[in-house]
Each structure stands twice: as C-alpha cells, then as structure tokens.
Chain A
Amino acid sequence: MKKVLTTPISYEQIKDLKIGDTVYLTGMLATCRDSGHRRVVKDKIMPEKIDLKEGAIFHAGPIVGKDENGKQYMVSIGPTTSRRMEAAEADFIEQTGVRLIIGKGGMMEKTTEACKKFGAIHCAFPGGCAVVAAQEVEEISDVEWMDFGMPEALWIMKVKEFGPLIVSIDTQGNNLFENNKKIFKERMDKLI
C-alpha cells in the first residue's frame, strides 16, 4: 500500500517514518531553492501566497510552459542538490514550520538536528526523473518571487501522489545518506 502524506502535514503523519521508507505527497507543494532560502532566512521575508507551516517544499528549478489557453504548466521538474541549501535549512525549518523538504541527495548535521527538534523530514526524489515529476503536478496554482527568474521563483503547485519520495532524514535524527557514506567509505578502504 502506498503511504501518502497530505498537506497540512501533522507531526502525527511523519513521526513514525524511518529512513529508507517510501512515501508520496498529495496537496500543496512549493519550489524553493537558493534564492528563496536566502530571502526567508536572511531577509526575513515570508512567502505571501502560501503558508509553509505544516507544508512542503521542493528544491527544484522547473521548465514551465504555457498551454493553448495561456495557462502555465510543468514541462519538466526535477530535484536539485539539497546540500546547497544546508547552510540555511535549519533556520528555514524553524522560521516557517515546514514539515517536508524534498530534494536530491541528502543534507547534513544541522538540518538533521533541526528535523529532530522541530518535527520535519527530508526526502529524496529520484534525480533526473523530471517528466515523471511533472506528470504528478496537477496544476500550477500560483507563483511568487518571479524577480528571481524561472528556475529560482517560488512555484506553488497542487500535486497528487507526488513521488516516490525516499525518507533520507527522519524525525529521530537518522540520516540515510550520511550512513551510506560510511558504508561506501568502508568498501573503498578495502579496495586500496
């Protein structure tokens, strides 16, 4: 059975998830990457068109197209490297109350601690699978911070069973990619 999270995401929904679990998301999802994190954390400006409390963000920069009626739609949207947001993510979680962060690869210690403290998780969407992701976006409901340009703007989307999302940081302080790194390193040490 598919495990589906729905926004607003209560702590109840995520507290028993473990690293390596596969989940999906239904509800509202906003893209937010380098510039968006800077605006929230450094400039202390919150998005106006979506409340991120108990919400979900996606580290991604899409290709957005327009259909015959001039309505915007997702052509291709895949995750970008989450690690770039590491410096800002802990403060971002504290300030917004976001529960689900989706990206590519893992994040590090500060984010792991913040996830534990404030009740959030990080999940990885399979990198490069951008048409799969675009097909799981039902519609683009709004956009703000267009001053950043298409890839960096905050795109607000309605998604349905968006995933697969693999839990990479859970609420108990476990970190899948950091664990894996140790395993890969041990294997390498055997080689040389």
Chain B
Amino acid sequence: MEESLKQKFIKTVEEFTGMTGIYLPDDVEARLREMAEQETIANAKTMYDCMLKDLSLAKELHRPLCQDTGVIQYFVEVGTEFPYQAEIPEILVTAARNATLNTPLRPNVVEPLGEHNTGDNTGYGAPYIEYELVPGSSDLRLRMYMAGGGCSLPGRSKVLMPLEGVEGVKKFVYQTILDWGVNACPPLCVGIGLGTCAATSAMLSKKALLRPIGTHSSYPEVAKLEDEIREGLNSLGIAPLGFGGSQTVLGVNIEAAAHHPATLGVGISTGCWATRRGDMIIHADLTSEILSHRKSLEV
C-alpha cells in the first residue's frame, strides 16, 4: 500500500474514533432528547437538562462529552474484494493511538494483570478488534464502541435451565439492572443475547447493543420480547442516573440464535446515556461515509 494512501486511511479512522468521543450517535441523542421532554419529575428534569447542556458544550468546545472515553473496540466487516485487507490491523491500532493523543481521549488501557497504564489506549489486545467477512463486497464497514467503566460493570451472562423460560430471562435482566443500573449512568442502552452457552449469549448481547435504538429483531417473537422487557424496565423508573424518574432505558435490543434444547443462555451488555458508538463505510478508493452521526455532524 502506498504511504500516502496509508496515511489517508489512518486519518479517516482516527478522526472517526475521536469524533465518536465528542458526539453521540443520532439515534442515542434523539432518544435522549425525547426522554428529557417526556420527563415530568422536577429533579429528573434537572438531570436531563445537565446532560443536554453537556452535549452542546462538548460540541462547542470539541471535547469528550464524558471524561471516561473507555476502551476502544472495533467491529469490522471486511468485504472480500476490499483491496487493503492486510493493512487493517495496523491501521486500526495506529488510529486508536493517534485519536487518544490528539483528541485527547483519556488513556485508560492498563496491561493485563500488571495494571501498568500504556498511556495511549493501545496494548496487548487493545484496541479490541473483531473481524467478519462479507463475500463479494469491496467495502469495509467499521463500527466502533467506547466501553466505559461504569457502563460495562453490569455486563454478565448465565446459562439458565430451559424450564425457566422467558420468565427466567426477564428476571435475570431485571435483577441485573436493579443491582447494577444506577452506577451505569442511566438511561441505559440494554443489549440482550439469547443462545446456547455463556460465551455466545454474551457475544450476541454485544451485537444487540451495537444495533441502533428503535430497530427490532427480524424474528417476531424476539421483537415482541424486546418491547416487553423495555416496558418492564421502564416501569422501574431508575433513570436518570438512579435519582428516579419515569423511565429507565433508551432502548432494549435482543439478538437471538437457535439454541440447544437443554440450555437457555442469556447475556447482557449495557451502555450509558453517553453510549458512544460509531458506524462508517470505507470504500475501495478510501472515500468514506459516516452512517451513525449524520445529524450531529451537520450542525
């Protein structure tokens, strides 16, 4: 790959990564504004006002909207015809480092067990990168997520007995949010995965979290469960920030896979009111478009 092209590629990913720490994705911001408007309790309204003020100050001053800019995670769908496949890992690591130093993002990454802070959010296995192949496509689809501390803490997965059924799934989700939701800065984005084992259920829950708010599972029964759990969680009234208000979540997404008849795996991944994720397409000629922040980048 020609050096000038490589630099362009790095710059594109770097700017996308830094931008994600400053602006909320369109779906999260729209839903947050909607919830702020719907809120009737005075103290809760004060909290929403503060969040919205934070969003506009972050844009104006070009600073990370929350000081915890998390650990950077990339989820990459690589078209089999995309020309620069071999360079992708190096480009992502360099972009994460540059975005950390130049935005600046908070250097969070500490090496496994040693706890030594690397100073630039890269390290052994960091940023976290996951790849998927897309046959026939010449594009690279890049999704990124900033995994903050407080909002990652509620995450867990468990294998239930199939007899526990849908009620068991709901109970597990409600209990988890009740125990851990307050410190995860609600209103929350809740991703739920249903599968066979703890690992696949956890992976599916992350996939669910990456899906925009307001979208539904294409499997009708699962889509119905999304609505039920959203209503259930909202009736707890934990948001904003555990002070207590009329709702709890920005959204609930579920990804499910056909599973073993003897197990019912369920995983949960949560994002905070400041759920920072981005979605972009990079074409073969390295032109690109950001899908997740169309509205916020206009202003």
Cβ of A1 under 8 Å from chain B:
no
Which residues from chain A contact B117 at a C-beta distance below 8 Å?
149
**Which of B9-17, B51-59, B124-132, B257-265 lines the interface with chain A?**
B51-59
**Are the CB atoms of A130 and B64 closer together than 8 Å?**
yes
Q: How far is the CB of B63 from chain A (nearest CB, A)?
A: 5
**Are the CB atoms of A128 and B174 closer together than 8 Å?**
no
**Are the CB atoms of A105 and B65 closer together than 8 Å?**
no
Which residues from chain A contact B167 at a C-beta distance below 8 Å?
192
**Are the CB atoms of A63 and B106 closer together than 8 Å?**
yes
**Are the CB atoms of B51 and A184 closer together than 8 Å?**
no
- Nearest chain A residue, comparing its CB with the CB of B151: A128
Which residues from chain B contact A183 at a C-beta distance below 8 Å?
237, 244
Asked, given contacts A22-B43, A128-B273, whether A188 binds B243 with beta carbons under 8 Å apart, the answer is no
Q: How far is the CB of B277 from chain A (nearest CB, A)?
A: 15
**Which of A41-49, A73-81, A86-94, A138-146 lines the interface with chain B?**
A73-81
**Are the CB atoms of A131 and B43 closer together than 8 Å?**
no
Cβ of A71 under 8 Å from chain B:
no
- Nearest chain A residue, comparing its CB with the CB of B272: A128
- Nearest chain A residue, comparing its CB with the CB of B51: A129
Which residues from chain B contact A149 at a C-beta distance below 8 Å?
117
**Are the CB atoms of A127 and B241 closer together than 8 Å?**
yes
Which residues from chain B contact A106 at a C-beta distance below 8 Å?
182, 242
Q: Bits for B203-245, please: 1 = Cβ < 8 Å to A, else 0.
A: 0000000000000000000000000000010011110111110
Cβ of A8 under 8 Å from chain B:
no
Q: Which of B46, B57, B65 has a CB less than 8 Å from the CB of A128?
A: B65
Q: How far is the CA of A20 from the CA of B245 in the complex (A)?
A: 13
Question: Quick one: which of A129, A135, A180 has the most chain B CB within 10 A?
Answer: A129
Which residues from chain B contact A181 at a C-beta distance below 8 Å?
178, 182
B contact residues, total (Cβ < 8 Å): 43
**Are the CB atoms of A61 and B185 closer together than 8 Å?**
no
**Are the CB atoms of A126 and B47 closer together than 8 Å?**
yes
Which residues from chain B contact A190 at a C-beta distance below 8 Å?
235
Q: Which of B67, B183, B237 has a CB less than 8 Å from the CB of A130?
A: B67
**Are the CB atoms of A63 and B57 closer together than 8 Å?**
no
Q: How far is the CA of A190 from the CA of B235 in the complex (A)?
A: 10
Within 8 A of A (CB), among B114-135: 117
Q: How far is the CA of A77 from the CA of B54 in the complex (A)?
A: 12
Which residues from chain B contact A105 at a C-beta distance below 8 Å?
182-183, 241-242
Q: How far is the CA of A45 from the CA of B55 in the complex (A)?
A: 39
Cβ of B150 under 8 Å from chain A:
yes
**Are the CB atoms of A77 and B67 closer together than 8 Å?**
yes
**Are the CB atoms of B64 and A63 closer together than 8 Å?**
yes
**Are the CB atoms of A78 and B67 closer together than 8 Å?**
yes
- Nearest chain A residue, comparing its CB with the CB of B232: A191
Asked, given contacts A20-B43, A63-B106, A81-B183, whether A131 binds B174 with beta carbons under 8 Å apart, the answer is no
Q: How far is the CB of B125 from chain A (nearest CB, A)?
A: 22
**Are the CB atoms of B66 and A78 closer together than 8 Å?**
yes
Cβ of B171 under 8 Å from chain A:
yes
Q: How far is the CB of A81 from chain B (nearest CB, A)?
A: 5
Q: Bits for A159-192, please: 1 = Cβ < 8 Å to B, else 0.
A: 0000010100000000011001101110110111
**Are the CB atoms of A187 and B185 closer together than 8 Å?**
no
Cβ of B50 under 8 Å from chain A:
yes
17 contacts between A and B (CB under 8 A): A62-B67, A75-B63, A76-B64, A104-B150, A124-B243, A126-B241, A127-B183, A128-B54, A128-B65, A128-B68, A128-B274, A129-B50, A129-B53, A129-B54, A164-B47, A181-B178, A190-B235
**A interface list, Cβ under 8 A from B:** 20, 22, 60-63, 65, 75-78, 80-81, 83, 104-106, 124, 126-132, 134-135, 149, 151, 164, 166, 176-177, 180-181, 183-185, 187-188, 190-192
**B interface list, Cβ under 8 A from A:** 43, 46-47, 50-51, 53-54, 57-58, 61, 63-68, 104, 106, 117, 149-150, 167, 170-171, 174-175, 178, 182-183, 185, 232, 235-238, 240-244, 272-274
Among all A-B residue pairs, the 9 with the closest Cβ atoms: A76-B67, A130-B67, A127-B185, A129-B54, A131-B57, A128-B66, A105-B183, A126-B50, A128-B274
